[in-house]
Amino acid sequence: MTGDWQRIILHADMDAFFAAVEQLDRPELRGRPVVIGSRSPRSVVSTCSYEARVFGVRSAMPMTRALTLCPHADVVEPRMKRYAEVSSVIMEVFDRFSPLVEPLSIDEAFIDMSGATRIFGPPRQMAGSLRQAVKEATGGLTVSVGVASTKFVAKVASDMNKPDGVTVVAPDEVTGFLWPLPVSRIWGVGPKAQAQLESLGMRRIGDVAVRPRTELAQRFGVHGEQIWLLANGIDEREVEAEYEAKSVGREFTLEEDVRGRPAIIPHLLRSADAIARSLRRSNMTAGAVRVKLKTADFRLLTRQGGLPRPTSSAPELMAVALSLLDRFDLSCAFRLVGMTAFALAPLPPQEDLFLPAEVRRQRKLDGAVDRVLEKFGDGALWRGCDLPRGNGDDK
């Protein structure tokens, strides 16, 4: 092993996740070009299998174009609930490797494994064990892993040997790894910034790194400094596992213990409603959910999983919570039921026009519910299937 590993950060990213899940569940799709999306004329490709990428099909491409490139592709409607279910299995595998896991989306996460070499061996071996564990837990899905001492380099690295690959960048290999890459690989460099950098003669990351830091700062402000730091492999950001300030939770200690799924669900719904409202009040979205149950004899059990997309909507939180519920042993009595939403991020400024109609409808409804509750107080509205109040105390 070369270099002085101050930190060991893994970025794990599932390969063609939605398409891979479909190929896992439906063996007849294996080895076939699979395009996830709908056939409707305005649809875009959500994900596609590597067999489809050979034909030039890519995510976010209009479906009509994808089918021109690859007319014999199998178009499969996305099954978000199923992907969320698999996501929670994957995130749970990650949790076995480190308490510091930061999910970035439904199928990728940073995992801080600093100081874990005694248990898991050197970085390449850690990545190997993680990939093996994901494969076993999911029944065959592959994940690509980048390992480095910073988040930025780990994330770039995970993309280098896709699919089913590992890229380890030791601290003394960082500049050799980063500098030949195009500037578009730097976080925060979109097409516009890329064009500006290129017009100044900076096509590769190394071209940025060797310029004076002050030049980047003068031309692009704080953003320019950030670009310069990343180009030099400097990224102090830590892997942020869920912790109180970065999560919103609601739990209920029950006056009488509950048993069985139907008795637990109403309390989860109340949690989801309260969390969703709190998220919307602060203009935040959550990327993942954790369900918490405490048994009558005070054992604390938790399961967590990623959301198909960042959300502040109770039904979307609830869909994941319900799939998590399947992974508890519900045969005993519980005295506490709760839910925490984490992986929080600010709500994007504009409404996503590509969201399915039912999601946009739900968001409108959420807004209306919020307004009623603001005006008349928390007791004003309850979902049809909620228990009468008084069967628990908010904490």
Q: How far is the CB of 13 from Mg ion (least distance, A)?
A: 4
Binding of Mg ion by 13 (CB under 5 A) = yes
22, 107, 235, 366: residue in contact with Mg ion (rule CB under 5 A) = 107
The residue among 101 and 275 lying less far from Mg ion, judged by its C-beta, is 101
Site string for Mg ion, 14-53 (x = CB under 5 A): x--x------------------------------------
Binding of Mg ion by 134 (CB under 5 A) = no
Give the position of tokens 């299995």. Answer: 89
Token pair in block for residue 253: 């200690």
Concerning whether 28 is annotated as a catalytic residue, the answer is no
Residue from 72, 73, 75, 103 nearest 89 by CA: 103
Q: How far is the CB of 347 from Mg ion (least distance, A)?
A: 23
220-155-5 Cα angle (round to 5): 100
Binding of Mg ion by 85 (CB under 5 A) = no
Site stretch for Mg ion (CB under 5 A), options 10-18, 174-182, 284-292, 371-379: 10-18
Site stretch for Mg ion (CB under 5 A), options 22-30, 105-113, 247-255, 363-371: 105-113
Residues in the chain: 395
Residue of 92, 108, 242, 251 marked catalytic: 108
Binding of Mg ion by 316 (CB under 5 A) = no
How far is C-alpha 309 from the geometric centre of its chain's CA atoms? 8
Site stretch for Mg ion (CB under 5 A), options 13-21, 240-248, 325-333, 380-388: 13-21
Q: Which residues have C-beta within 8 Å of that of residue 68, sequence separation ≥ 6? A: none
Site stretch for Mg ion (CB under 5 A), options 68-76, 103-111, 314-322, 340-348: 103-111
The residue among 111 and 337 lying less far from Mg ion, judged by its C-beta, is 111
Binding site for Mg ion (CB under 5 A): 13-14, 17, 107
Active site amino acids? 108
